[in-house]
Amino acid sequence: MISYHSNQNQKSGALGWDDEIQNENSFLLLPEGDYQFKITNFTKAHHEGSAKIPPCPKAIVDFEISNTDGNLLTISENFLLHSKLEWKLSQFFASIGMKKKGEPLRMCWSPALIGKTGMCKIIIRKYPGADGQEHQKNQIEKLYPAYDLAEQPASFPLYRKN
């Protein structure tokens, strides 16, 4: 696997061997709504295949999202490079301003993606945990095309509750 990281992310979160630690639970659940994101990492990997999608390349993209208190959350999203999911790939590249409306795009999975920003809709997804309890986590439901956001006022908020 090839992994591309933001140098700033590595520097800001790296701990030394003798550093003091205190935080016992860093789980953050954001309320549903629209948030700005920044891409901090992506990894080229391979999808082994499933009942719906045959084996194909995949990109695992890390989206850094902050709430109004400045707390950071990272959500990882898989992008399968398959024609059945071309709409999702188009949505991703349009959200970071690389794909223009109605025009084809040759995908560019390179370190140039790191630091790109956009807007997304975050939802809360419930799922059964290994402990038998119901758990919750944030999930990206939609990536908004940058060409649609250009029509928004300059003060488009960091977070907008639905």
pLDDT at 28: 83
Beta strands in 51-154 (DSSP E): 56-66, 72-80, 117-128, 134-144
pLDDT at 2: 57
pLDDT at 153: 45
The token duo for 36 is 């700005």
Helix (H) or strand (E) holding 148: helix 146-149
Alpha-carbon distance of 118 to 146, in angstroms, equals 7
Q: What are phi and psi of 7, to 5 degrees?
A: -60, -35
Structure-token match 């006022």, residue found: 153
8 A C-beta contact, residue 131 and residue 74: no
pLDDT at 19: 87
DSSP assignment letter at 17:
T
Q: pLDDT averaged over consecutive 10-residue blocks of the chain (162 residues)?
A: 51 77 73 94 96 97 88 93 97 96 95 95 94 93 90 50 55
pLDDT at 14: 81
pLDDT at 68: 77
pLDDT at 23: 64
Q: What are phi and psi of 129, to 5 degrees?
A: -85, 170
- pTM of this structure: 0.78
